[in-house]
Structure 1
Amino acid sequence: MELGKVQKLKVESKKDRKIILTDNENNRVNLAIGEGENLKVGDEVEAFVYNIHDEFEATLKKPFAQVGDLKKLKVVDKAKIGYFVDNGIGKDIFLPFKESYGRLTVGGEYLLYLYHDKSNRLALTMNIKDKLKVNENYKVNDIVKGTIYSIGRPGAFVAIENKYDGMIPAEEIKGIYRIGDEVEARVQRILQSGFITLTLREKAYKQIDADADLILELLEENDGVLELGDKSNPEIIKDLTGLSKKAYKRAVGHLYKNRLINIYDTKIELKHGRK
């Protein structure tokens, strides 16, 4: 009998509200009370086997995840040593603090992997990096969707389509994304290992209008002047605009070409009538 799996079992006995199921090796398990009232002895059913205290129990309800599955599941409660997560069967699965990243929100959904712990109990983990594949499906400039499963110094790690591993560099996420968020991004690079680097930015010729609009908004918020020039430190430009120096200069050039701004050595300024 496989813990954490949907499997075919037979009704061995039925007395009052107690139904016992058995597998081909004569392993027995109780069916959850209140389920299978119309079943008869000898009927074959598909049941999910889970832990109830120190015993196994079965349910006819379909779980959201089985052992070995990587699924986005909802946190429904918090305890002293971890979280409880809804798996669709009426009995929540435990996610220990040591298997979680950051502070999770009750009601939030996170990408989780279902497994057996050392005590042969069902448990969940957010440590899924080794469960993800390297690229075998995408090429540079493909647009993909994924779920952020971890955030660290290099950036936000993303499970692309919840199957492949990728990362958005830290300078692009700007502190506005959290673990569990879904993102749409462009494949920027594919390393020899198959690891994918993602970017939230469009290709340069598509991105330039959006960047130029951002600069205009910043100018309007700062009385028509930005104290940024051609020789400004790239980090200062990044802090003030969120853009790389290259992207900033490209956007400024676009605005200047369209006669919307004046450019000086140490600043840019909206043309009269734009303030």
Structure 2
Amino acid sequence: MLELGKVQNLMVIQESDFGLYLAEDQDELQDKVLLPNAEIPEGTKLGDKIDVFLYKDTQDRIVATCKEPLLKLGEVAFLEVAEVTDIGAFLKWGLIKDLLLPFKEQLVKVEAGKSYVVGLYIDKTDRLCATMKVYNLLSSESPYIINKMTRGLVYRQTPEHGVFVAVDGKYHGLIINKEIYREYNIGDWIDIRIKNVRPDGKLELTERRQVNSQMEIDANQIMTILKKEDGFLPLNDKSNPNIIKEKLKMSKASFKRAVGRLLKEGVVEFANNGIKIRF
């Protein structure tokens, strides 16, 4: 079965003046799709199987391409607006025909040259279109387990919940407020660790590593800031957690672990209600 918006592995079953016809097997003559001449990889012949993406061309015909678009069904991506017209905005997504983002699928007024997080869906006329309403397009059935490292796309932030992340551009993820130690921009791809898998399958995330690995990162960060501050920081194990978070972008517990390591290594010491470099 041919499916719009997905990459499929299809067989070359027929040649024509316009290109090669592809299908799931050589006996399938009805459900076939054209791979235009300009798209054919060199050396492709009858019987070969190739990976192609299916979409509709400017004449509303289903066609195949060997190019991989920036967005497929079941994913979200950060795409640039090529132009805004009277039917909506058109987005650059790596194919000859730009992708339509209808006005009814826009959550904010978009501008040409700017980029926005969108997902892909099939509209009532069987066309591929973009939408900014991405939450319901994401899946809760991820392959991830706790402490697995991966990447994710930031697509929303709220004061109540935290930073919403599309893990691998496909799965529901959230950085809860207490795990936020810096500013995030919509459209950022970030490195994340799976902190928890909720019963509903949604993922709780953090940018911080497991304790031992993160301790070294935090210790190096404290030393970097100490050197910028002429070797002294007015922070200690009794400092307000919010001040530590604002100054160092880490929790008080992480600060105490990292300072403990630096004290043990003999590179810092407590002085004047703070810490300073020993040499």
TM-score (norm 1): 0.69
Aligned equivalents of 1:217, 1:147: Cα separation in 2: 28
Unaligned runs of 5+ in 1: 9-13, 18-22, 26-31, 37-45
Question: Residue 253 of structure 1 corresponds to which residue in structure 2?
Answer: 260
Residue 79, structure 1, aligned to residue 87, structure 2: no
Residue 160, structure 1, aligned to residue 160, structure 2: no
State the 1:4 CA deviation.
5.1
Question: Residue 142 of structure 1 corresponds to which residue in structure 2?
Answer: 148
Aligned equivalents of 2:128, 2:109: Cα separation in 1: 22
Aligned equivalents of 2:151, 2:53: Cα separation in 1: 33
State the 1:227 CA deviation.
1.4
- Deviations along 1:69-122, whole A, 9 cap, x unmatched? 4253642424278542134442212224653579788375x6532224467764
2:247 to 216, 224, 240: 240
Does the CA-based 8 Å contact 2:76-2:170 persist in structure 1? no
Question: Residue 172 of structure 1 corresponds to which residue in structure 2?
Answer: 180
The amino acid of 2:260's aligned partner reads: G
Aligned equivalents of 1:179, 1:104: Cα separation in 2: 15
Residue 56, structure 1, aligned to residue 81, structure 2: no
Question: Residue 70 of structure 1 corresponds to which residue in structure 2?
Answer: 75
State the 1:179 CA deviation.
2.5
Report the 3-state secondary structure (helix = DSSP H, G, I; strand = E; otherwise coil) of the residue aligned with 2:185. coil
Question: Residue 225 of structure 1 corresponds to which residue in structure 2?
Answer: 232
State the 1:197 CA deviation.
0.8
Aligned equivalents of 2:129, 2:261: Cα separation in 1: 54
Unaligned runs of 5+ in 2: 11-16, 19-28, 41-51
The amino acid of 2:182's aligned partner reads: K
Aligned equivalents of 1:202, 1:95: Cα separation in 2: 37
Question: Residue 20 of structure 1 corresponds to which residue in structure 2?
Answer: none
State the 1:222 CA deviation.
1.3
Greater Rg over alpha carbons, structure: 1
Aligned-residue Cα RMSD (Å) equals 4.2
Sequence identity, in percent? 29
Report the 3-state secondary structure (helix = DSSP H, G, I; strand = E; otherwise coil) of the residue aligned with 2:276. strand
State the 1:204 CA deviation.
0.9
Residue 130, structure 1, aligned to residue 108, structure 2: no
Report the 3-state secondary structure (helix = DSSP H, G, I; strand = E; otherwise coil) of the residue aligned with 1:56. coil
Aligned equivalents of 2:261, 2:221: Cα separation in 1: 12
Change (3 A) 1:62 1:111: farther
Does the CA-based 8 Å contact 2:39-2:66 persist in structure 1? no
The amino acid of 1:130's aligned partner reads: N
State the 1:159 CA deviation.
1.9
Question: Residue 43 of structure 1 corresponds to which residue in structure 2?
Answer: none
Residue 193, structure 1, aligned to residue 203, structure 2: no
Question: Residue 214 of structure 1 corresponds to which residue in structure 2?
Answer: 221
Residue 112, structure 1, aligned to residue 118, structure 2: yes
TM-score (norm 2): 0.68
Of 208-217 and 224-233, the range deviating more from structure 2: 224-233
The amino acid of 2:60's aligned partner reads: F
Aligned equivalents of 1:225, 1:48: Cα separation in 2: 60
Does the CA-based 8 Å contact 2:151-2:190 persist in structure 1? yes
Report the 3-state secondary structure (helix = DSSP H, G, I; strand = E; otherwise coil) of the residue aligned with 2:180. helix
Aligned equivalents of 1:5, 1:261: Cα separation in 2: 57
Aligned equivalents of 2:215, 2:112: Cα separation in 1: 36
Number of matched residues? 247
